[in-house]
Chain A
Amino acid sequence: MSHNGVCSEYEDALVLYHYGELGPEDTARVESHMASCASCREELASIASTLAHVPTVHPMEWESAKAVHNVMDSVRPSKRIWTSRLVPAYIAAAAAVVAVVLSVYSPTLVAMLPTQTETALAQADWEVVENYEVVKDLDVIEVLDNLDSFGDGQ
Protein backbone atom coordinates (compact mmCIF):
# COMPACT_ATOMS: atom_id res chain seq x y z
CA MET A 1 0.00 0.00 0.00
CA SER A 2 1.33 3.45 -0.89
CA HIS A 3 1.56 6.41 1.46
CA ASN A 4 -1.84 7.85 0.58
CA GLY A 5 -3.70 4.63 1.18
CA VAL A 6 -3.90 3.55 -2.46
CA CYS A 7 -2.51 0.12 -3.25
CA SER A 8 0.66 0.90 -5.19
CA GLU A 9 0.24 -2.06 -7.52
CA TYR A 10 -3.07 -0.58 -8.70
CA GLU A 11 -2.01 3.06 -9.08
CA ASP A 12 -1.22 2.88 -12.81
CA ALA A 13 -3.98 0.39 -13.49
CA LEU A 14 -6.59 2.75 -12.04
CA VAL A 15 -5.67 5.45 -14.57
CA LEU A 16 -5.91 2.99 -17.45
CA TYR A 17 -9.13 1.55 -15.98
CA HIS A 18 -10.61 5.05 -15.92
CA TYR A 19 -9.93 5.38 -19.64
CA GLY A 20 -11.21 1.87 -20.37
CA GLU A 21 -7.79 0.85 -21.62
CA LEU A 22 -7.28 -2.36 -19.63
CA GLY A 23 -7.72 -5.77 -21.19
CA PRO A 24 -10.58 -8.00 -19.94
CA GLU A 25 -8.38 -9.88 -17.45
CA ASP A 26 -6.89 -6.76 -15.90
CA THR A 27 -10.29 -5.11 -15.79
CA ALA A 28 -11.70 -8.06 -13.85
CA ARG A 29 -8.70 -8.00 -11.50
CA VAL A 30 -9.10 -4.26 -10.76
CA GLU A 31 -12.85 -4.53 -10.26
CA SER A 32 -12.43 -7.47 -7.94
CA HIS A 33 -9.85 -5.53 -5.93
CA MET A 34 -11.96 -2.39 -5.74
CA ALA A 35 -14.89 -4.35 -4.40
CA SER A 36 -12.92 -4.81 -1.21
CA CYS A 37 -10.71 -1.68 -1.19
CA ALA A 38 -12.32 1.63 -0.27
CA SER A 39 -9.07 3.59 -0.83
CA CYS A 40 -8.81 2.48 -4.44
CA ARG A 41 -12.48 3.26 -5.04
CA GLU A 42 -11.89 6.76 -3.68
CA GLU A 43 -8.77 7.08 -5.78
CA LEU A 44 -10.67 6.14 -8.92
CA ALA A 45 -13.40 8.68 -8.10
CA SER A 46 -10.72 11.33 -7.50
CA ILE A 47 -9.04 10.57 -10.86
CA ALA A 48 -12.37 10.90 -12.65
CA SER A 49 -13.20 14.13 -10.85
CA THR A 50 -9.85 15.81 -11.60
CA LEU A 51 -9.84 14.79 -15.24
CA ALA A 52 -13.39 16.05 -15.69
CA HIS A 53 -12.08 19.54 -14.92
CA VAL A 54 -9.26 19.53 -17.48
CA PRO A 55 -9.99 22.52 -19.72
CA THR A 56 -10.85 21.96 -23.33
CA VAL A 57 -10.44 24.50 -26.11
CA HIS A 58 -13.28 25.31 -28.49
CA PRO A 59 -12.19 27.63 -31.29
CA MET A 60 -14.77 30.18 -32.39
CA GLU A 61 -16.56 29.46 -35.64
CA TRP A 62 -15.02 32.50 -37.33
CA GLU A 63 -11.53 31.40 -36.24
CA SER A 64 -12.01 28.04 -37.90
CA ALA A 65 -13.51 29.66 -41.00
CA LYS A 66 -10.58 32.07 -41.28
CA ALA A 67 -8.09 29.24 -40.85
CA VAL A 68 -9.86 27.14 -43.52
CA HIS A 69 -9.75 30.13 -45.87
CA ASN A 70 -6.01 30.59 -45.27
CA VAL A 71 -5.30 26.92 -45.91
CA MET A 72 -7.29 26.85 -49.13
CA ASP A 73 -5.62 30.09 -50.22
CA SER A 74 -2.27 28.33 -49.87
CA VAL A 75 -3.19 25.22 -51.81
CA ARG A 76 -5.35 26.58 -54.64
CA PRO A 77 -3.17 27.21 -57.70
CA SER A 78 -5.74 29.64 -59.12
CA LYS A 79 -5.27 31.82 -56.08
CA ARG A 80 -1.53 31.83 -56.67
CA ILE A 81 -2.03 32.97 -60.25
CA TRP A 82 -4.35 35.67 -59.01
CA THR A 83 -1.70 36.75 -56.52
CA SER A 84 1.02 36.75 -59.16
CA ARG A 85 -1.18 38.94 -61.35
CA LEU A 86 -1.19 41.45 -58.54
CA VAL A 87 2.59 41.85 -58.72
CA PRO A 88 2.58 44.18 -61.76
CA ALA A 89 -0.14 46.17 -60.01
CA TYR A 90 2.14 46.54 -56.98
CA ILE A 91 4.95 47.74 -59.24
CA ALA A 92 2.60 50.23 -60.93
CA ALA A 93 1.47 51.49 -57.53
CA ALA A 94 5.10 51.92 -56.44
CA ALA A 95 5.86 53.86 -59.63
CA ALA A 96 2.85 56.11 -58.98
CA VAL A 97 4.11 56.83 -55.45
CA VAL A 98 7.56 57.72 -56.83
CA ALA A 99 5.93 60.08 -59.37
CA VAL A 100 3.92 61.82 -56.63
CA VAL A 101 7.02 62.21 -54.46
CA LEU A 102 8.92 63.69 -57.41
CA SER A 103 6.14 66.13 -58.20
CA VAL A 104 6.07 67.33 -54.58
CA TYR A 105 9.80 67.76 -54.33
CA SER A 106 10.35 68.94 -57.93
CA PRO A 107 10.93 72.69 -57.01
CA THR A 108 13.80 71.61 -54.80
CA LEU A 109 15.16 69.35 -57.46
CA VAL A 110 14.80 72.07 -60.14
CA ALA A 111 16.55 74.56 -57.85
CA MET A 112 19.42 72.15 -57.62
CA LEU A 113 19.79 72.11 -61.41
CA PRO A 114 22.04 74.82 -63.03
CA THR A 115 20.11 77.78 -64.47
CA GLN A 116 20.47 78.98 -68.05
CA THR A 117 22.68 81.98 -67.02
CA GLU A 118 24.86 79.69 -64.96
CA THR A 119 25.17 77.41 -67.93
CA ALA A 120 26.10 80.32 -70.21
CA LEU A 121 28.70 81.55 -67.73
CA ALA A 122 30.15 78.14 -67.43
CA GLN A 123 30.37 77.98 -71.20
CA ALA A 124 32.17 81.37 -71.33
CA ASP A 125 34.57 80.23 -68.62
CA TRP A 126 35.32 77.18 -70.62
CA GLU A 127 36.02 79.27 -73.73
CA VAL A 128 38.44 81.41 -71.72
CA VAL A 129 40.26 78.35 -70.63
CA GLU A 130 40.35 77.09 -74.17
CA ASN A 131 41.63 80.48 -75.41
CA TYR A 132 44.13 80.52 -72.62
CA GLU A 133 45.46 77.26 -73.86
CA VAL A 134 45.62 78.70 -77.38
CA VAL A 135 47.42 81.80 -76.07
CA LYS A 136 49.89 79.57 -74.29
CA ASP A 137 50.42 77.64 -77.53
CA LEU A 138 50.88 80.89 -79.47
CA ASP A 139 53.54 82.06 -76.97
CA VAL A 140 55.44 78.83 -77.45
CA ILE A 141 55.22 79.20 -81.23
CA GLU A 142 56.44 82.79 -80.98
CA VAL A 143 59.41 81.70 -78.87
CA LEU A 144 60.17 78.96 -81.36
CA ASP A 145 59.90 81.46 -84.26
CA ASN A 146 62.30 83.84 -82.50
CA LEU A 147 64.76 81.04 -81.94
CA ASP A 148 64.33 80.04 -85.53
CA SER A 149 64.97 83.56 -86.89
CA PHE A 150 67.89 83.89 -84.51
CA GLY A 151 69.33 80.73 -86.00
CA ASP A 152 68.76 82.02 -89.51
CA GLY A 153 70.55 85.25 -88.62
CA GLN A 154 73.55 83.28 -87.50
Chain B
Amino acid sequence: MMPSSHNDEKELVEAARSGDHEAFEILVRRYMPRSLAYVRQMVGNAEDAEDIVQDGFVKAYRGLENFKGESSFYTWFFRILSNLCLDHLRKGHFLKKLFFFPDDSSREDDEPGPLERAPDEDPGSLPDFRLGNKELGAALEKALKSLPARQKSVFLLKNNEGLKIIEIAAMLQISEGAVKSHLVRAVTALRKSMKGYHVA
Protein backbone atom coordinates (compact mmCIF):
# COMPACT_ATOMS: atom_id res chain seq x y z
CA MET B 1 0.00 0.00 0.00
CA MET B 2 1.38 3.38 -1.00
CA PRO B 3 1.51 6.11 1.61
CA SER B 4 -0.99 8.90 0.97
CA SER B 5 1.83 11.42 0.47
CA HIS B 6 2.62 9.58 -2.76
CA ASN B 7 -0.50 11.08 -4.29
CA ASP B 8 1.46 14.21 -4.88
CA GLU B 9 3.15 14.02 -8.27
CA LYS B 10 6.41 15.64 -7.22
CA GLU B 11 6.77 13.18 -4.37
CA LEU B 12 5.95 10.30 -6.69
CA VAL B 13 8.63 11.45 -9.12
CA GLU B 14 11.12 11.89 -6.28
CA ALA B 15 10.33 8.45 -4.91
CA ALA B 16 10.55 6.85 -8.37
CA ARG B 17 13.88 8.57 -8.92
CA SER B 18 15.23 6.97 -5.77
CA GLY B 19 14.19 3.53 -7.00
CA ASP B 20 10.64 3.20 -5.65
CA HIS B 21 8.95 1.11 -8.34
CA GLU B 22 5.54 1.39 -6.73
CA ALA B 23 5.71 5.17 -7.02
CA PHE B 24 6.64 4.90 -10.66
CA GLU B 25 3.81 2.43 -11.24
CA ILE B 26 1.32 4.97 -9.88
CA LEU B 27 2.58 7.49 -12.42
CA VAL B 28 2.36 4.90 -15.21
CA ARG B 29 -1.20 3.96 -14.19
CA ARG B 30 -2.18 7.62 -13.96
CA TYR B 31 -1.03 8.53 -17.46
CA MET B 32 -1.42 5.25 -19.35
CA PRO B 33 -4.98 5.77 -20.71
CA ARG B 34 -4.23 9.30 -21.98
CA SER B 35 -0.90 8.18 -23.41
CA LEU B 36 -2.45 5.26 -25.29
CA ALA B 37 -5.26 7.47 -26.60
CA TYR B 38 -2.90 10.19 -27.82
CA VAL B 39 -0.35 7.86 -29.42
CA ARG B 40 -3.04 5.69 -31.01
CA GLN B 41 -4.46 8.73 -32.76
CA MET B 42 -1.01 9.94 -33.71
CA VAL B 43 0.23 6.70 -35.31
CA GLY B 44 -3.11 5.21 -36.32
CA ASN B 45 -2.82 1.70 -34.90
CA ALA B 46 -3.08 0.12 -31.49
CA GLU B 47 -0.08 -2.23 -31.64
CA ASP B 48 2.45 0.42 -32.59
CA ALA B 49 0.87 2.75 -30.04
CA GLU B 50 1.38 0.25 -27.23
CA ASP B 51 5.04 -0.27 -28.20
CA ILE B 52 5.66 3.47 -28.37
CA VAL B 53 3.97 4.16 -25.02
CA GLN B 54 5.93 1.35 -23.38
CA ASP B 55 9.14 2.66 -24.89
CA GLY B 56 8.21 6.15 -23.67
CA PHE B 57 7.68 5.06 -20.08
CA VAL B 58 10.90 3.05 -20.04
CA LYS B 59 12.78 6.07 -21.43
CA ALA B 60 11.12 8.28 -18.82
CA TYR B 61 12.10 5.88 -16.03
CA ARG B 62 15.71 5.79 -17.16
CA GLY B 63 15.74 9.54 -17.66
CA LEU B 64 14.19 10.49 -14.32
CA GLU B 65 17.59 11.67 -13.13
CA ASN B 66 17.54 14.33 -15.86
CA PHE B 67 14.01 15.47 -14.99
CA LYS B 68 14.50 18.76 -13.20
CA GLY B 69 10.88 19.29 -12.24
CA GLU B 70 10.63 22.61 -14.07
CA SER B 71 7.54 21.34 -15.85
CA SER B 72 5.03 18.74 -14.72
CA PHE B 73 5.90 15.08 -15.14
CA TYR B 74 3.00 14.88 -17.60
CA THR B 75 4.41 17.68 -19.81
CA TRP B 76 7.88 16.17 -19.68
CA PHE B 77 6.59 12.68 -20.42
CA PHE B 78 4.34 13.80 -23.28
CA ARG B 79 7.34 15.52 -24.83
CA ILE B 80 9.08 12.14 -24.88
CA LEU B 81 5.96 10.51 -26.34
CA SER B 82 5.51 13.20 -28.99
CA ASN B 83 9.11 12.83 -30.12
CA LEU B 84 8.74 9.05 -30.31
CA CYS B 85 5.55 9.45 -32.38
CA LEU B 86 7.20 11.90 -34.77
CA ASP B 87 10.20 9.56 -35.13
CA HIS B 88 7.90 6.62 -35.78
CA LEU B 89 5.94 8.52 -38.43
CA ARG B 90 9.14 9.77 -40.08
CA LYS B 91 10.51 6.21 -40.25
CA GLY B 92 7.24 4.95 -41.73
CA HIS B 93 7.25 7.80 -44.20
CA PHE B 94 10.85 7.05 -45.19
CA LEU B 95 10.13 3.34 -45.71
CA LYS B 96 7.01 4.08 -47.75
CA LYS B 97 8.98 6.51 -49.88
CA LEU B 98 11.73 3.93 -50.28
CA PHE B 99 9.25 1.36 -51.56
CA PHE B 100 7.24 3.90 -53.59
CA PHE B 101 4.07 3.67 -51.51
CA PRO B 102 2.00 6.85 -51.36
CA ASP B 103 1.99 8.27 -47.86
CA ASP B 104 0.69 11.44 -46.28
CA SER B 105 1.10 10.50 -42.64
CA SER B 106 4.18 12.56 -41.87
CA ARG B 107 4.72 15.16 -44.49
CA GLU B 108 6.86 18.11 -43.65
CA ASP B 109 4.67 20.64 -41.92
CA ASP B 110 5.21 23.39 -44.45
CA GLU B 111 4.18 21.07 -47.24
CA PRO B 112 0.43 21.37 -47.90
CA GLY B 113 -1.57 18.19 -47.36
CA PRO B 114 -4.27 16.89 -49.66
CA LEU B 115 -6.91 18.68 -47.63
CA GLU B 116 -5.06 21.96 -47.85
CA ARG B 117 -4.30 21.49 -51.54
CA ALA B 118 -7.98 20.96 -52.34
CA PRO B 119 -9.50 24.03 -53.96
CA ASP B 120 -12.00 26.05 -51.97
CA GLU B 121 -15.18 24.90 -53.57
CA ASP B 122 -18.52 26.52 -53.23
CA PRO B 123 -20.37 24.35 -50.68
CA GLY B 124 -23.39 24.48 -52.95
CA SER B 125 -21.53 22.59 -55.68
CA LEU B 126 -20.66 19.68 -53.38
CA PRO B 127 -22.91 16.69 -52.71
CA ASP B 128 -25.27 17.20 -49.86
CA PHE B 129 -24.41 14.58 -47.26
CA ARG B 130 -26.28 14.36 -44.03
CA LEU B 131 -24.11 12.37 -41.74
CA GLY B 132 -24.92 10.73 -38.48
CA ASN B 133 -22.47 11.22 -35.63
CA LYS B 134 -20.79 7.91 -36.45
CA GLU B 135 -20.19 8.70 -40.11
CA LEU B 136 -19.12 12.21 -39.28
CA GLY B 137 -16.65 10.89 -36.72
CA ALA B 138 -15.27 8.44 -39.29
CA ALA B 139 -14.91 11.18 -41.92
CA LEU B 140 -13.14 13.41 -39.41
CA GLU B 141 -10.90 10.55 -38.33
CA LYS B 142 -9.85 10.01 -41.93
CA ALA B 143 -9.17 13.71 -42.34
CA LEU B 144 -7.21 13.73 -39.06
CA LYS B 145 -5.03 10.87 -40.29
CA SER B 146 -4.03 12.82 -43.37
CA LEU B 147 -2.80 15.84 -41.38
CA PRO B 148 0.97 16.41 -41.30
CA ALA B 149 2.50 14.90 -38.14
CA ARG B 150 3.27 18.15 -36.32
CA GLN B 151 -0.16 19.63 -37.07
CA LYS B 152 -1.81 16.45 -35.88
CA SER B 153 0.22 16.47 -32.70
CA VAL B 154 -0.64 20.09 -31.90
CA PHE B 155 -4.30 19.55 -32.74
CA LEU B 156 -4.65 16.43 -30.56
CA LEU B 157 -2.86 18.02 -27.63
CA LYS B 158 -5.11 21.08 -27.86
CA ASN B 159 -8.45 19.62 -28.89
CA ASN B 160 -8.40 16.22 -27.18
CA GLU B 161 -5.97 16.74 -24.31
CA GLY B 162 -7.12 20.30 -23.60
CA LEU B 163 -3.62 21.67 -23.09
CA LYS B 164 -2.85 25.36 -23.30
CA ILE B 165 -0.88 26.67 -26.26
CA ILE B 166 1.95 27.69 -23.96
CA GLU B 167 2.11 24.10 -22.60
CA ILE B 168 2.11 22.60 -26.10
CA ALA B 169 4.89 24.97 -27.12
CA ALA B 170 6.97 23.83 -24.14
CA MET B 171 6.13 20.20 -24.80
CA LEU B 172 7.03 20.25 -28.48
CA GLN B 173 9.79 22.82 -28.04
CA ILE B 174 8.42 25.17 -30.67
CA SER B 175 7.26 28.77 -30.39
CA GLU B 176 3.73 29.70 -29.31
CA GLY B 177 3.29 31.34 -32.72
CA ALA B 178 4.16 28.07 -34.43
CA VAL B 179 1.67 26.20 -32.23
CA LYS B 180 -1.08 28.68 -33.13
CA SER B 181 -0.22 28.40 -36.81
CA HIS B 182 -0.31 24.57 -36.73
CA LEU B 183 -3.58 24.61 -34.81
CA VAL B 184 -5.33 27.00 -37.19
CA ARG B 185 -4.10 25.07 -40.22
CA ALA B 186 -5.23 21.76 -38.74
CA VAL B 187 -8.71 23.08 -37.91
CA THR B 188 -9.01 24.69 -41.35
CA ALA B 189 -8.00 21.42 -43.05
CA LEU B 190 -10.47 19.37 -40.99
CA ARG B 191 -13.30 21.79 -41.70
CA LYS B 192 -12.43 21.80 -45.40
CA SER B 193 -12.83 18.03 -45.43
CA MET B 194 -16.30 18.47 -43.96
CA LYS B 195 -17.44 20.98 -46.58
CA GLY B 196 -20.71 19.87 -48.10
CA TYR B 197 -21.62 17.82 -45.04
CA HIS B 198 -24.32 19.06 -42.76
CA VAL B 199 -22.79 19.08 -39.33
CA ALA B 200 -25.57 19.08 -36.79
Interface residues of A (CB under 8 A from B): 3-4, 11-12, 15-16, 19, 21, 46-47, 49-51, 53-59, 63-64, 67-68, 70-72, 74-76
* Total cross-chain contacts (CB, 8 A): 101
Is the beta-carbon distance between B50 and A67 smaller than 8 angstroms?
yes
Q: Which of B54, B120, B133, B199 contacts A67 (CB 8 A)?
A: B54
Q: B residues within 8 Å of A by Cβ?
A: 21, 24-25, 28-29, 32-33, 36-37, 40-41, 46, 50, 53-54, 57-58, 61, 120, 123, 133, 136-138, 140-141, 144, 158-160, 164-165, 180, 183-184, 187-188, 190-191, 194, 199-200
The closest CB in chain A to the CB of B22 belongs to A72
Given the known interface contacts A15-B183, A21-B165, A64-B32, the answer about A55 and B58 at a Cβ–Cβ threshold of 8 Å is no
Which of B21, B36, B61, B140 is within 8 Å of A63, CB to CB? Answer: B36
Q: Which residues of chain A come closer than 8 Å to B188, judged between CB atoms?
A: 11, 15
Q: Is the CB of B180 within 8 A of A21?
A: yes
- Which residues of A are found within 8 Å of B165, using beta-carbon distances? 19, 21
Q: Which of chain B's residues have a CB closer than 8 A to the CB of A12?
A: 180, 184
List residues of chain B with CB within 8 A of the CB of A58: 33, 37
Name the prevailing secondary structure of the B interface residues: helix
- A51 with B36: CB separation less than 8 A: no
Contact with B159, one of A46, A54, A72, A75 (Cβ below 8 angstroms): A54
CA A11 to CA B180, docked complex, whole Å: 13
Does the CB pair A59–B33 fall under 8 Å? yes
Whether the Cβ atoms of A16 and B184 lie closer than 8 Å is yes
Partner of A55, one of B50, B141, B184: B141
In the complex, are the beta carbons of B53 and A74 less than 8 A apart? no
A58 to B138, CA, bound (A): 15
A16 touches B183 (CB 8 A): yes
State the CA gap A16–B158 with chains docked (Å).
11
Q: Are A21 and B164 in touch, CB under 8 angstroms?
A: yes
